[in-house]
């Protein structure tokens, strides 16, 4: 019997982004044994294009999606989105196309503000967003806080919590042993170089920690518009133990995860970052902001430390705590691995999504029978 087809929207699969990681993991998971998964490329990540090419791509993209849905006779379009202005308008068009092609729509939110914040108190905007989100059959979010916010917002579709998952096998073999003891606390940041990730506060916190006689090293791995400004800030603070290594993947990322004592993720806002799950799976506890789904993964003092965003003093205090209590750091490392293995595996997510997909596809067939 032919398997149902599901189209997954997302950036170029070779791009280094959270959503491309999500799509790649799903397409290599058990979900692909139940459904034929087809990737539909959207977004700017991994592309080298000017304004004209980008405008042409955006204009043609809805027609391309129409052709793909009809050619594959897709039962479901899984829209991977975020509540940002650009992603919302782009993916609204895709949802309309999917509905016109009689496909079911799963709308997954990977980040951005909560819907109330997205509409900024504007009643007309809220009514419009509420109505357009009703084009989805199911909305998938990453945390309890997001689910509750969408329900309070009054969206019609069912809202489900399905946290991200990773292939834990890739990280379970990474060693936590130190061939040469290092008195310095080894800190690692993985992600985009943008202000919203709290990186200026991170450098200020590192300066504060060093002034309190904490020896620390920081590696910043990633790329983005703030890279050169952050280099200048680190130099201005006199931070000689800071390295910028650019984007990393594969064996380079694995080597950094083996090197690190702690991941630092002082973001202003997040969904559920893959960098956090990967680090914790490798036994690297996090110092992370109490935002998004992070508090549902990190239990303060057990498998990491939680801080308030935009607070360099709080971040510096967490660094001092980890630097001064290496026994507690080792316990957090073990607890981090246990947390991810128990609750955040890709096969857990694949199984949950397969059940959601099956229900949506079954209801689609029921609708066709009713139409006939």
| pLDDT tens digits for range 114-167 | 999 999 989 999 999 999 999 999 999 999 999 999 999 999 889 999 999 999
pLDDT score, position 302: 97
Higher pLDDT, 178 or 28: 28
Ramachandran angles phi, psi of 246, nearest 5°: 75, -170
Positive or negative, the CA dihedral 113, 195, 255, 238 is negative
367, pLDDT greater than 60: no
pLDDT score, position 370: 37
pLDDT score, position 176: 82
Partners of 217 in the β-ladder: 186
369, pLDDT greater than 50: no
92, pLDDT greater than 70: yes
pLDDT score, position 279: 97
Domains contained in the chain, CATH given: 5-165+345-371 (3.40.50.2000), 169-343 (3.40.50.2000)
Per-residue pLDDT band for 244 (boundaries 50, 70, 90) equals very high
281, pLDDT greater than 90: yes
Tens digits of per-residue pLDDT, 298-337? 999 999 999 999 999 999 999 999 999 999 999 999 999 9
pTM: 0.87
Per-residue pLDDT band for 53 (boundaries 50, 70, 90) equals confident
222-247: average pLDDT: 96
217, pLDDT greater than 60: yes
41, pLDDT greater than 70: yes
Higher pLDDT, 3 or 55: 3
In SS3 terms, 133-171 reads as HCCCCEEEECCHHHHHHHHHHCCCCEEEECCCCECCHHH
User: Worst-scoring range by mean pLDDT, 50-64, 147-161, 166-180, 355-369?
Assistant: 355-369
Per-residue pLDDT band for 57 (boundaries 50, 70, 90) equals confident
Ramachandran angles phi, psi of 40, nearest 5°: -115, 115
Per-residue pLDDT band for 365 (boundaries 50, 70, 90) equals very low
260-275: average pLDDT: 94
Higher pLDDT, 44 or 143: 143
Per-residue pLDDT band for 215 (boundaries 50, 70, 90) equals very high
């Amino acid at each position: 019997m032919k398997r149902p087809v599901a189209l997954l929207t997302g950036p170029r699969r070779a791009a280094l982004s959270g959503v491309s990681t999500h799509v790649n993991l799903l397409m290599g998971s058990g979900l692909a044994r139940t459904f034929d998964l087809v990737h539909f490329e959207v977004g700017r990540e991994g592309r080298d294009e000017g304004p004209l090419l980008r405008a042409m791509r955006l204009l043609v993209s809805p027609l391309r999606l129409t052709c793909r849905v009809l050619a594959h006779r897709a039962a479901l379009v899984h829209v991977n989105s975020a509540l940002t202005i650009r992603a919302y308008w782009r993916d609204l068009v895709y949802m309309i196309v999917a509905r016109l092609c009689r496909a079911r729509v799963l709308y997954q939110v990977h980040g951005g503000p909560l819907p109330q914040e997205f509409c900024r108190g504007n009643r007309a905007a809220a009514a419009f967003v509420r109505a357009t989100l009703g084009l989805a059959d199911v909305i998938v979010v990453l945390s309890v806080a997001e689910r509750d916010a969408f329900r309070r917002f009054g969206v019609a579709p069912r809202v489900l919590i399905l946290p991200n998952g990773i292939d834990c096998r890739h990280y379970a073999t990474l060693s936590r042993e130190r061939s040469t003891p290092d008195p310095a606390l080894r800190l690692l940041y993985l992600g985009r170089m943008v202000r919203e990730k709290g990186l200026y506060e991170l450098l200020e916190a590192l300066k504060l920690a060093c002034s309190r006689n904490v020896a620390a090293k920081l590696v910043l791995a990633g790329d983005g518009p703030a890279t050169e400004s952050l280099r200048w800030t680190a130099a201005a603070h006199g931070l000689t133990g800071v390295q910028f290594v650019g984007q990393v993947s594969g064996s380079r990322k694995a080597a950094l995860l083996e090197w690190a004592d702690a991941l630092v993720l002082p973001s202003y806002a997040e969904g559920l970052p893959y960098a956090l799950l990967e680090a914790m799976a490798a036994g690297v506890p996090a110092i992370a902001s109490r935002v998004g789904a992070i508090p549902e993964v990190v239990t303060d003092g057990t498998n990491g430390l939680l801080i308030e965003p935009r607070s360099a003093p709080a971040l510096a205090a967490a660094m001092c705590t980890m630097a001064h209590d290496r026994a507690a750091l080792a316990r957090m490392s073990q607890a981090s691995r246990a947390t991810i293995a128990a609750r955040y595996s890709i096969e857990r997510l694949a199984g949950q999504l397969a059940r959601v997909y099956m229900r949506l596809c079954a209801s689609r067939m029921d609708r066709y029978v009713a139409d006939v």
